[in-house]
Amino acid sequence: MLIAQETSFDENEIFQLYDSVGWKPWTRDIAKVLRSLEKSHLVLTARDETGKLLGLARTVSDDEMICYVQELLVNREFHGQGIGRRLLEFLKDRYVHCRYFVLTTDHESAQEGPANHAFYRRLGLIEHHEQGLSAFGLRVG
């Protein structure tokens, strides 16, 4: 498996990846997704030896104080093979100098919540409230 930073993106390939995990708010406007990838601080991909896109993670960051992981996804057919771990471990190392390394995900009571929370905990991440922090935001539309 090849983990690499990428800066240009194929619309069909990106659509297939996001569609594989059922992320309708993203696939409904794939042009917006492409723009968000292009404007990210870093987009990391995982590909197999044939070049097939297996997973992707992207960050929003000032590369000093904060790294925000916005989107980490692995093609549903390839879950459970260590791809998500490889992507997130790379980002943890890459942004180790930042004070904050954060992400937002669905609550544990949501459909995919238990699986995602188990994954993030396995990778050493903890919830804000467990270290005396809170996260605030406007209601997600």
Q: Which residues bind ligand COA (CB under 6 A)?
A: 21, 72-74, 79-85, 105, 112, 115-116, 118-119, 122
* Residue with smaller CB distance to ligand COA, 115 or 133: 115
Using left for φ > 0, alpha for ψ between -120 and 50, and beta otherwise, residue 63 falls in: left
* Residue with smaller CB distance to ligand COA, 132 or 141: 141
Q: Closest separation between CB of residue 48 and ligand COA, Å?
A: 13
The secondary structure of residue 63, as a DSSP letter, is: S
Q: Closest separation between CB of residue 77 and ligand COA, Å?
A: 10
Q: Name the residue with the smallest CB distance to ligand COA.
A: 84
Burial category of 77 from C-beta neighbours within 10 Å (exposed 0-12, middle 13-18, buried 19 and up): exposed
* Residue with smaller CB distance to ligand COA, 62 or 108: 108
Record the tokens describing residue 72, joined without a space. 């980490």
| Cα distance between residue 56 and residue 34, in whole Å | 13
| Cα distance between residue 7 and residue 38, in whole Å | 7
Q: Closest separation between CB of residue 69 and ligand COA, Å?
A: 8
